[in-house]
Structure 1
Amino acid sequence: MWSSSFASSFIVTSISASSDVIPRAIKRLFHQASIGDQSYRFMFKRGPADEAVAIDCETTGLSVRADDIITIAAIKIRGNRILTSERFEAAVRPDAGMQAEAIKVHRLRQIDVAQGPLIWKALPSFLHFVGGRPLVGYYVDFDIAMLDKYILPYIGIELPNPRIEVSKLYYERKYGDAPPNTEIDLSFAAILRDLNIPLLAQHDAFNDALMTAMMYLALRDMKERGVRIPRLRTHTVFNPTGA
C-alpha cells in the first residue's frame, strides 16, 4: 500500500456516491454467466454472513496497466475478531521492473522477489482463501484492479466480491456532517490516529492488511453505535474590510 502518496493520486470517487454500483452489478451477472473455469463458480457464493477479508497488495508502482504486484496479504475477519492465524501471504516475481520510488516505499528490491513464483501460481490459493467474502481495504479499488489484471485472463472473471472501503467509512464518521469547505484528511495516518490504532511497520502487505482490519472493526462499531469522530473546530473571523 502506498498510503498517503497513493491516497492523493487515487482518490476513490465513491466517497460521496457509489456511481458504479449498477455497472459493477451488470458486470457481475455477465461474468457469472461467462466464467471460463467452472471450478471457480464458488466465487459468486457469498461467504459466511459474519466474515470478511482484509486485503493489501504491494506493487512496483501506481499504474494498473504498467506495474505488477509483488506481495499479497489477506486476513479473515469473523464477527469482531481478526483471525491472524487464518491468513494468506505471497511474494511473487513481477514482470515489470522495480521503480526506484517503489523500492523506497516497500523496501523490496528486484533481487528480493526474483526467486518468488509468478503470480499465476499464487492465484488459486488466494481465490480459495477469499471465496465470496467481502473484501476490506484502504483504497481497495486499486488493489482489486491490480488483482483483476491477472484474474480475468486466468479464469475469465474479475473479482465479484463486495467491497468495503475503510476510507469511506472513516469519511462518514468524521466528515459526513461537516460544513462546506472543511479540510478533509483521509490519509492512512489520520485514520490510525483518530481510531487510536497502533502504527505497525507500513508498506508491508500483512501489516497494512492487519491495520486495515482494525480500522474496519473500529469504524463498523462506531457506525452501529451512532458515534462520530470529533473534528477540530475552526473559527472564521468576520472582517468587514475584506483583509
Structure 2
Amino acid sequence: MREIVFDTETTGLDPATGDRMVEIGCVEIVNRVPTGAVFHAYFNPQRDMPAGAEAVHGLSAAFLADKPLFGDRADELLEFLGEAPLVAHNAGFDFGFLNAELRICGMAAIAMERMVDTVQLAKRRHPGAKLSLDALCTRYGIDRTHRVKHGALLDAELLAQVYVELTGGRQIGLELAVETLARDTRSDHAAEVRRSRRDPRPHSASAEELARHRAFLEKIRSPLWLA
C-alpha cells in the first residue's frame, strides 16, 4: 500500500488569521518501507515572518522572498500525493494549512478521510506517554541528532520511521528475519547431513567368502535348519 508521510512549516498557528505555509516535505512509503521518493518545496508566504515562527524553523522572510508561491507548485504536489493516505503528526494542523493553501488557489480541499494522525496512533499505543516527535524518536531509538531546528522534509523522514514503528513494522521485519534464519538453519543442517553421508558399502559376498561359508556349515552336526 502506498502512503505519504508529510510535514509542514508555517508562519504561525492558524491559517484563518492569515498564517501561511512556507515549507512542505513529503516522503513516499510503500508497504511501510520508504521508497526514496520525496517532494520538498519552500514557498513565499507573501507576508512577514514572525520572530517566534522563525525561531522554530529558521526560515526568514529574506530567505523565502525568491521562492515560488504555493500555487506555482500545487499541481506538482498533488500529483505526488496522488490518492494515497496522508500521514502527519498532529495531522489536523498540517491538513488545515494544506487545504487553506489549496483554497487560496481555487483548488479542491483534500478529504479528511485520507488523514492518518500519528499523535492519535501514539496515544493509543502509549497512553500517558510523551507524544512529541522528539519523544517518539527517543522511545524507538531513532537518531535525531541532526535535527537542530524543525524542517519539513527532515521531520517527515523521521516521522516515517516513527510511523513504521507505531504500526509494527520493525516487529514484522524481525519475525521475517527469524523465519528466514530458521529456514536457513534447516537448509544448513540438511547440507551437513548430505556432506557427512557415506557411500553405501558393497554387501554381496565374494566367491571365496561363499566357499568358506559352505565349508563352515559342513562342519556343523545336525544343524537346526535341517531338522
Q: TM-score, normalised by structure 1?
A: 0.65
Which whole-Å deviations, capped at 9, do the CAs of 1:168-194 have from their partners, x for residues lacking one? 11111111xxxxxxx542222211111
The amino acid that maps onto 2:162 is M
Q: 1:117 to 1:222 in 2, by over 3 A?
A: closer
Aligned to 2:163: 216
Q: 1:137 aligns with which of 80, 88, 100?
A: 88
The match for 1:172 is 124
- Paired with 1:108 and 1:223, the residues of 2 have a C-alpha distance of 34
- Give the fraction of aligned pairs with identical amino acids, expressed as a percent: 26
Q: Is the 8 A contact 1:56 1:72 kept in 2?
A: yes
Over residues 33-62 of structure 1, what are the superposed CA-to-partner deviations in whole Å (9 max), with x where a residue is unaligned? xxxxxxxxxxxxxxxxx1100111111111
CA RMSD for the aligned pairs?
1.9
Q: Which has the higher contact order (CA 8 A, sep 6+)?
A: 1
Q: Which amino acid aligns with 2:134?
A: A
CA distance in 2, matches of 1:112, 1:67: 17
- Would you say the 8 A contact 1:56–1:209 is kept in 2? yes
1:191 equivalent to 2:136? Answer: yes
The one of 13, 21, 30 aligned to 1:69: 21
| Counterpart residue number, 2:31 | 79
How do 1:55-66 residues align onto structure 2 when only pairs under 5 Å count? 55-65=6-16, 66=18
Does the 8 Å contact 2:20/2:101 carry over to 1? no
For the pair 1:146 / 2:91, whether they are aligned, the reply is no
The residue type equivalent to 2:140 in the other structure is L
- Does residue 51 (structure 1) correspond to residue 2 (structure 2)? The answer is yes
**Higher relative helix content:** 2
Paired AA for residue 135 in structure 2: A
Partner SS for 2:142: coil
Structure 1, residues 210-234: CA drift from partner, whole Å, max 9, x if none? 0111111111116987xxxxxxxxx
Q: Partners of 1:120 and 1:192 in 2: how far apart?
A: 33
Per-residue deviation, residues 99-125 of structure 1 (Å, max 9, x unmatched)? 001111111111101000111001110
Separation in 1, partners of 2:169, 2:24: 29
Where does the alignment leave 5 or more consecutive residues of structure 2 unmatched? Answer: 173-227
Cα deviation, residue 96, structure 1: 2.5
Does the aligned pair in 2 maintain the 1:92–1:118 contact within 8 Å? Answer: yes
Alpha-carbon distance change, 150 to 194 in structure 1, aligned in 2, over 3 angstroms: same
| Matched residue, 2:200 | none
- Could you list the runs of 4 or more consecutive aligned residues of structure 1 that deviate by over 6 angstroms after TM superposition? 222-225
The answer to whether the 8 A contact 1:173-1:223 is kept is: no
From 47, 64, 68, the equivalent of 1:96 is: 47
TM-score normalised by structure 2 residue count: 0.69
**Distance (whole Å) between structure 2 residues aligned to residue 222 and residue 72 of structure 1:** 25
Partner Cα distance (1:90, 1:189) in 2: 23
Is 2:154 the counterpart of 1:207? Answer: yes
Q: Give the whole-Å Cα distance in 2 for the aligned partners of 1:169 and 1:223.
A: 16
Once residues 90 and 38 of structure 2 are traced to their aligned partners in structure 1, the CA distance between those partners, rounded to angstroms, is 20
Is the partner of 1:150 in helix, strand or coil?
A: helix
Match of 1:105 among 37, 43, 56: 56
**Distance in 2 between residues matched to 1:126 and 1:111, nearest whole Å:** 24
SS at match of 2:3: strand
Please say which structure displays the higher CA radius of gyration. 2
Q: How many residues align?
A: 168
The C-alpha deviation readout for 1:137-193, integer Å capped at 9, x for no partner, is 101111111011121343542112611111111111111xxxxxxx54222221111
Q: Which moved further from structure 2: 102-111 or 159-168?
A: 159-168
Return the alpha-carbon distance in structure 2 between the equivalents of residues 185 and 139 of structure 1.
13
